[in-house]
Chains A and B, each alone.
Chain A
Amino acid sequence: MDLTLHVWRQAGTSAAGDFQTYKAVGINGSMSFLEMLDLVNENITREGGDPIAFEHDCREGICGSCGMVVNGIAHGPHDMTTVCQLHMRSFADGDEVWIEPFRARAFPVLKDLVVERAALDRIVQAGGYVSIRTGSAPDANATPVPKPDADRAFDAAACIGCGACVAACPNASAMLFTAAKAAHLSYLPQGQTERLGRALDMVAVHDDEGFGNCTNHGACQVVCPKGISVDYIARLNRDTIRATLGGVGSPAATAGQ
């Protein structure tokens, strides 16, 4: 199949960007979206041009490196996949494809489709850990965890930090990411000690990084390649409100500070 691509090109963070049009010719339906871009880049390079920069690593949908907005949808039109696992059979011959970087003030464009997502790392640094001596690997089932809680913690821990939730959110909010990173600890016994302080600290950094706030649209869970539910946001809200109403001076609220 042959496609017309409109790709956002931007030389650097402070440079002005614009869309450039490219032809993607002879595309096989079994190619991934990134392989299609590889092919386009080969042609650009052969003609002496600057290839389209995009981030990628594992190309099997588990690392969270890749991500771009394809025709207005983060990671493209296929459900529960990253863009590297989006296959060209999702497109038809002659389609026009608009490719844009994830747009958020907290995600400055580094080059073309590559954005700086360190703001997400800083949210994790604020509370996405448990400060206990873990020692060597504990015996299995030494700390009993109810199966439903283990499942919920695991589902939250499936977050690969790709940032699609931020890209899709009309408010550019990172609440789904923050909520998942808090919930995968707050469902487990080891995460209880710092639970409320963690919520306060992570939300404070989330706000400081310039992300917007959640208005419960639910666009984030629709594009999330790992299918993380907005119900985790309810849990983060609950913990944050409990920490706030419990008083900022309470031990629980300051444990993570």
Chain B
Amino acid sequence: MRQAVTLYQSSIGKKFLMAVSGILLAGFVVVHMIGNLKMFEGPESMDGYAVFLKGLGSPILPEYGALWITRIVLLLAVGIHMVAAFQLWRRSRAARDVAYRKNDSQVFSYASRTLRWGGVIILLFVIYHILHFTTGNVHSDFAYGSVYQNVVIGFQNTPVALFYLVAVGALSLHLYHGLWSVFTTLGVQNPRVTRVRRPLAAGLSILLFVGYAAVPVGVMAGILTLR
């Protein structure tokens, strides 16, 4: 408990919590992307995957058991990541009370400068995404369990599909800075690792962008159609 308090109080502790929750969320994002690609295998594969997720862990866990455990863990991770980010942002904002007239920001990467606002955009997107494809509240023609059909109908609305592309772009930028800086935050100093951390983060971010963009682009290009 004392460790938890110290972690919570120090700025490096908060960053550690952000790194650990960020790794968890990044892991989820990778699995989610692979799951999405089942769209290209057709409705049986996609809808079957949803049924598989609901039954995951049975008979030890009840139906939806593993799904809800995952959701709660992810929600906790999001909560920790956001609270720590907000507190660190407030601390940093207070640390420079008078702004520079001239600020040569060419030394910061675009991804690092947009990290905080990117995070806010991702949060808003995730809320929309859950209302769109999980609960169906903002979906024009939602049919529970018909995942393939819901996705195709959802992305046949071009503004929605474009919004998804912007959001996964923001996610990729956020992950690029997050994935390489996680090595520093967790104190990895091995030069063999630090040399490859940026290419590794860039590669994974691009891979995730391509994987996530594939479905909305597939629908817009007419590759994925209602069957």
A contact set with B: CB distance below 8 Å: 6, 19, 69, 71-73, 98, 100, 103-106, 168, 170-173, 200, 203-204, 206-207, 210-219, 222-223, 230-231, 233-242, 244-245, 247-249
In the complex, are the beta carbons of A213 and B92 less than 8 A apart? yes
**B174 on interface, CB distance cutoff 8 Å:** no
The answer to whether A245 and B3 touch (CB under 8 A), given A203-B12, A204-B10, is: yes
B7 touches A100 (CB 8 A): no
Identity of the chain B residue whose Cβ is nearest the Cβ of A216 in the assembled complex: B181
Q: Looking at the assembled complex, report how far the CB atom of B101 sits from the nearest CB atom of chain A, in whole angstroms.
A: 6
Which residues of A lie under 8 Å from residue B188 when comparing CB positions?
Answer: 234, 238
> Is there contact, CB below 8 Å, between B98 and A216?
no
Contact among A104, A171, A231 with B194 in the assembled complex (CB-CB below 8 Å): A231
List the A side residues contacting B184 at CB < 8 Å: 216, 230-231, 233-234, 237
Which single residue of chain A is at the shortest CB-CB distance from B4? A244
Q: Let me know if A234 and B96 touch, CB within 8 A.
A: no
A-contacting residues, B147-182, CB 8 Å? 177, 180-181
Cβ-defined contact, B107 with A218, below 8 A: yes
Inter-chain contacts of B3 with A (CB < 8 A): 244-245, 247-248
Residue among A172, A204, A244, A247 making CB contact with B95, cutoff 8 Å = A172
Partner of A244 from the list B6, B183, B194 (CB cut-off 8 Å) is B6
Looking at B13-21, B66-74, B125-133, B208-216, the stretch in contact with chain A turns out to be B13-21
Give the shortest distance, in Å, between B134 (CB) and chain A (any CB): 32
Is B41 at the interface (CB under 8 A from chain A)?
Answer: no
B12 in contact with A240 (CB, 8 Å)? yes
Collect the chain B residues with CB atoms within 8 Å of residue A241's CB. Answer: 12-13, 16, 186-187
User: Which chain B residues have a beta carbon within 8 Å of chain A's beta carbons?
Assistant: 2-3, 6-7, 10-16, 88, 91-105, 107-109, 112-113, 115, 177, 180-181, 183-189, 194
Assembled-state Cα–Cα distance A210/B91 (Å): 8
Cα separation A61 to B156 with both chains bound (whole Å)? 63
| Bound: A203/B104 CA distance, A | 28
Q: Tell whether, in the assembled complex, residue B96 and residue A103 are in contact, meaning their CB atoms are under 8 Å apart.
A: yes
Q: Cα distance A235–B12 when bound, in Å? A: 12
The docked-state distance in angstroms from the alpha carbon of A172 to that of B93 is 8
| Bound form: Cα–Cα A212–B15 in Å | 12
26 contacts between A and B (CB under 8 A): A72-B102, A98-B102, A100-B100, A100-B101, A168-B107, A170-B96, A171-B92, A204-B10, A210-B94, A212-B91, A213-B92, A216-B180, A216-B184, A217-B108, A218-B108, A218-B112, A223-B107, A234-B184, A234-B188, A236-B12, A237-B12, A237-B186, A238-B187, A238-B189, A244-B12, A248-B6
Closest to A178 in B: B12
Q: A100-B101, A212-B91, A237-B15 are in contact. Are A105 and B96 (CB under 8 A)?
A: yes
Residues of A near B99 (CB, < 8 A) are 103
| Cβ–Cβ < 8 Å partners of A247 in chain B | 2-3
Could you say which of B2, B96, B115, B186 has the most chain A C-beta atoms within 10 Å of its C-beta? B96
Q: Is A105 a contact partner of B108 (Cβ separation < 8 A)?
A: no
Which chain A positions have C-beta within 8 A of B181? Answer: 215-216
